[in-house]
C-alpha cells in the first residue's frame, strides 16, 4: 500500500513527502541541508544539540527538524533571522568549551563542528573560553584513543555502540557541566567490553575519538637499514583509500595504491588477499570436516577481530562454534616470517610486517598473545586506511596520478574470491566457491552466490551443493550477530555455516576507513570489490597457483600439522563489566 503523502511548505517551496518524514529529511529533498550534529542517518533520533532547529508557523518555539515530523499544511522556515541567530549561539557556546588545536587535530579538514562554524559565518567568539576541566586522554586501548576534551556530547558514539553494535561500552556519566562520555567506572576502553571496532570514530563529528596511530613506528622501520619491511593491504582498502585523495566513493585504485606504497619505501608490497585465499583453503576444509564428521555446527567465521572479542565477552558458550582459523592478516604475518623469510634468506626477527587495514580492531588483534607462531610477533604494526593515506600525503605523492603497478610475488598473487572478502557475504561466497568443488569434484560454472550479497544486516540462504542442502547465514554489525548467537545459545540454530563481520557492510565499513562512511558509500565500495572480482583471471581460492605452491613447498596440506601450528588459534572467555 502506498504511503499517505503530506503537503507542506518549506522556505516558500511546496513540498510533498510520505507520512512519517521528518522536517529535516523533507528539507533535504528540496536541496536544503539543515546543519546538525547529534543527528546521524544510521542511528536513532536524539534531538539534543538543537542545531537543526527551524521556525514553524504557529509554533511558539523553534523546533528540532530531526525530531519533528512533517504535518499537512505545515509552513517551515529553515533560514529565518531567528533561526540563524539560534544556530550561531549554539555553535559559539560549543566553541567556547572546545580546545583550539584545529591545526594539529586528527580531524583537521574533516571536522563537522569546524565546517558548521565556517558555514554559519562565525569568525569570532563572543564568549570567553568556559572550560574548567582538563580531562586525561584514554589511551588504554591498542586501537582507539578517546579525548574527552573534544567531546561535544552529541551521543552518536553511545548510540552506535549500543544500537548498531549491541555492546554499550560507553555512556553519559554525571550531570550538567560535568557530564562526560565514559566507560564503566572510567576504567578505560581496554578494560571493558569495547570490541575495538571503531564505529564510534566514524560517527564522531569532532576529534574526540581517533585510532591509535602507528605511523611513526612504520616510518622508523622503513628508515632502519636492518629491517626488511613488507606491507600487506586488505581487500577493502583498495575500494576506499582513493576517497582520502578526493576521488569518488567506490573508486577502485589497486594499482595506484601499490605504486604509492612502493614509493614510500616498503621493500615488498604484498596483498592480504593471498592470505584470504589461504584462509578459504583452511576454513573450507574445516567446514567440510565438521559437516561430514558431525562436528560442532554451525561453524562461524573468524576473520573479524571485533566480532571475536564480542563473542569472548558476551557469548563465551559459543566459542566452540568459531573456526579455529586465524584471520587473513595474521595468517599472512605467520607465513611471511616463516615461508617467505626462508625463501629470501631473512631472519624472522629482521622482517617487519605492516598491515594496512580498514579496521581498528586489527591493531588489537596483532597484539594478542596468541599471534606469535612465527617465533616472533607475526604482525608488527597495523595502519588504518586513513593512516596509510596520511603517510602518502606526508611523502608528497600525487596519488591520483600514480601509475598502476602490480603487487610483488608470491604473496601478492590472489583471486577474485579473496577480493570480495571485504564485503559482507564475501567470505561466505568465497568459501562456497571452494567447498562446492571440493565436496562434489565438479566445476562450479556460476561462481556468484547473489543470495548472500548486499547491505542487509542479516541474510540467510539455503545453498544446494549437489544434493546437500547447506543452510547459511550472514550478519554484519554486532547487533545482528547477537540474533544468531542467541539462537545458537538456545540450541535453535538451523544453520551449518555463518559469516559474521563486526562492522556494517563488512570490512568496507570498518572503523579505519575514510570519513564519512555511510550506507551509500558502503554500497559503492562493495560494487568496486565485485567489479574487481569479475575482472580477475582466477576467481576461486583453490585455483590460486601461489596457494598450490605454498602447500607443495611448505604447508603440505590444509589442516595439516604445520598449517595447524601456524594458521590456526584458539580464543578465550573474557570478563563482563
507 among known catalytic residues: yes
In angstroms, how far is CA 10 from the centroid of its own chain?
Answer: 37
162 among known catalytic residues: no
Classify strands 209-211 and 299-300 as parallel, antiparallel or unpaired.
unpaired
Residue 235: closest CA among 262, 253, 214, 217: 253
Query: Looking at 112, 282, 312, 365, which residue is catalytic?
Result: 365
283 among known catalytic residues: yes
In angstroms, what CA-CA distances link 463 with 286, 287, 426, 452, 543? 18, 14, 15, 10, 22
Query: Looking at 65, 304, 323, 414, which residue is catalytic?
Result: 323
Q: Name the strands in the sheet holding 53-56, side by side, starting at the edge strand that comes first in the sequence.
A: 13-18, 5-10, 75-77, 53-56, 63-64
Query: Looking at 49, 111, 303, 318, which residue is catalytic?
Result: 303
Q: Let me know the angle formed at the C-alpha of 181 by 383 and 42, rounded to the nearest 5 degrees.
A: 65
143 among known catalytic residues: no
For the chain, helix (H) and strand (E) counts, in that order, are 19, 17
- Distance (Å, whole) CA 303 – CA 287: 14
C-beta separation of 275 from 419 below 8 A: no
Can you read off the three cell numbers belonging to residue 168? 554499550
365 among known catalytic residues: yes
Query: Looking at 282, 286, 429, 532, which residue is catalytic?
Result: 286
Helix (H, G, I), strand (E, B) or coil at 209: strand
Query: Looking at 370, 405, 448, 543, which residue is catalytic?
Result: 370
Query: Looking at 507, 532, 541, 563, which residue is catalytic?
Result: 507
Query: Looking at 55, 211, 283, 312, which residue is catalytic?
Result: 283
Q: Let me know the angle formed at the C-alpha of 455 by 452 and 461, rounded to the nearest 5 degrees.
A: 25
534 among known catalytic residues: no
52 among known catalytic residues: no
What residues does 271 pair with on adjacent strands?
233
Q: Give the containing element (helix H, strand E) for 295.
A: none
Q: Taking the CB of residue 40, how many other CB atoms lie within 10 A of it?
A: 21
268 among known catalytic residues: no
Residue 472: closest CA among 482, 458, 489: 458
> To 10 degrees, what angle do helices 385-394 and 254-264 make?
60
C-beta separation of 516 from 450 below 8 A: no
For residue 51, give the DSSP letter: T
Query: Looking at 337, 362, 363, 459, which residue is catalytic?
Result: 362
Query: Residue 549 contacts by C-beta under 8 Å, 6 or more apart in sequence?
Result: 410
What residues does 144 pair with on adjacent strands?
211
Catalytic residue numbers read 283, 286, 303, 323, 362, 365, 370, 507
Amino acid at each position: 500500500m502506498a504511503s499517505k503523502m503530506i503537503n507542506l511548505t518549506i522556505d516558500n517551496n511546496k513540498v510533498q513527502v510520505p507520512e512519517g518524514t521528518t522536517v529535516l529529511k523533507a528539507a533535504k529533498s528540496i536541496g536544503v541541508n539543515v546543519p546538525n550534529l547529534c543527528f546521524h542517518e544510521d542511528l536513532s533520533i536524539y534531538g539534543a544539540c538543537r542545531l537543526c532547529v527551524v521556525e514553524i508557523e504557529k509554533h511558539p518555539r523553534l523546533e528540532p527538524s530531526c525530531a519533528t515530523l512533517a504535518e499537512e499544511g505545515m509552513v517551515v522556515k529553515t533560514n529565518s533571522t531567528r533561526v540563524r541567530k539560534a544556530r550561531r549561539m549554539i555553535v559559539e557556546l560549543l566553541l567556547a568549551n572546545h580546545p583550539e588545536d584545529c591545526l594539529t587535530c586528527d580531524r583537521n579538514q574533516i571536522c563537522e563542528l569546524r565546517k558548521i562554524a565556517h558555514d554559519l559565518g562565525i569568525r569570532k567568539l563572543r564568549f570567553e573560553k568556559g572550560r574548567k576541566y582538563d580531562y586525561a586522554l584514554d589511551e588504554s586501548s591498542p586501537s582507539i584513543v578517546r579525548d574527552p576534551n573534544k567531546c561535544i556530547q552529541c551521543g552518536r558514539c553511545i548510540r552506535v555502540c549500543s544500537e548498531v553494535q549491541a555492546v554499550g561500552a560507553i555512556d553519559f556519566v554525571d550531570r550538567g557541566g560535568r557530564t562526560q562520555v565514559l566507560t564503566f567506572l572510567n576504567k578505560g576502553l581496554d578494560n571493558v567490553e569495547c570490541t575495538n571496532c571503531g564505529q564510534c570514530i566514524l560517527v564522531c563529528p569532532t576529534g574526540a575519538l581517533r585510532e591509535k596511530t602507528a605511523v611513526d613506528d612504520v616510518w622508523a622501520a622503513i628508515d632502519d637499514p636492518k629491517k626488511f619491511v613488507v606491507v600487506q593491504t586488505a581487500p577493502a582498502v583498495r575500494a576506499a583509500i582513493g576517497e582520502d585523495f578526493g576521488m569518488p566513493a567506490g573508486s577502485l585504485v589497486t594499482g595506484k595504491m601499490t605504486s604509492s606504497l612502493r614509493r614510500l619505501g616498503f621493500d615488498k608490497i604484498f596483498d592480504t588477499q593471498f592470505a584470504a585465499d589461504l584462509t578459504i583453503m583452511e576454513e573450507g576444509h574445516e567446514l567440510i570436516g565438521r559437516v561430514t564428521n558431525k562436528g560442532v555446527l554451525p561453524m562461524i567465521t573468524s576473520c573479524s577481530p571485533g566480532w571475536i572479542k564480542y563473542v569472548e565477552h558476551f557469548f563465551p558458550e559459543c566459542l566452540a562454534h568459531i573456526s579455529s582459523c586465524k584471520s587473513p592478516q595474521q595468517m599472512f604475518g605467520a607465513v611471511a616470517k616463516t615461508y617467505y623469510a626462508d625463501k629470501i634468506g631473512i631472519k624472522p626477527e629482521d622482517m617487519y610486517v605492516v598491515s594496512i587495514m580498514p579496521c581498528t580492531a586489527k591493531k588489537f588483534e596483532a597484539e594478542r598473545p596468541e599471534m606469535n607462531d612465527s617465533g616472533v610477533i607475526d604482525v608488527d604494526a597495523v595502519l588504518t586506511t586513513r593512516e596509510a593515506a596520511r603517510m602518502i600525503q606526508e611523502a608528497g605523492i600525487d596519488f591520483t596520478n600514480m601509475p598502476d603497478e602490480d603487487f610483488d610475488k608470491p604473496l601478492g598473487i590472489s583471486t577474485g574470491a579473496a577480493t570480495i572478502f571485504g564485503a559482507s557475504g564475501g567470505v561466505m561466497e568465497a568459501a562456497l566457491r571452494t567447498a562446492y568443488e571440493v565436496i562434489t569434484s565438479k566445476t562450479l560454472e556460476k561462481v556468484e552466490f547473489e543470495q548472500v550479497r548486499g547491505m542487509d544486516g542479516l541474510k540467510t540462504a539455503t545453498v544446494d551443493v549437489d544434493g546437500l542442502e547447506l543452510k547459511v547465514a550472514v550478519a554484519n554489525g554486532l547487533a545482528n550477530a547477537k540474533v544468531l548467537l542467541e539462537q545458537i545459545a538456545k540450541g535453535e540454530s538451523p544453520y551449518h555455516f555463518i559469516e559474521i563481520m563486526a562492522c556494517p557492510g563488512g570490512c568496507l565499513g570498518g572503523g579505519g576507513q575514510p570519513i564519512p562512511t555511510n550506507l551509500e558509500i558502503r554500497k559503492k565500495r562493495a560494487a568496486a570489490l565485485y567489479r574487481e572480482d569479475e575482472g580477475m583471471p582466477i576467481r576461486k581460492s583453490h585455483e590460486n597457483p601461489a596457494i598450490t605452491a605454498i602447500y607443495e613447498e611448505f604447508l603440505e596440506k590444509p589442516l595439516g600439522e604445520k598449517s595447524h601450528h601456524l594458521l590456526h588459534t584458539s580464543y578465550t572467555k573474557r570478563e563482563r563489566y
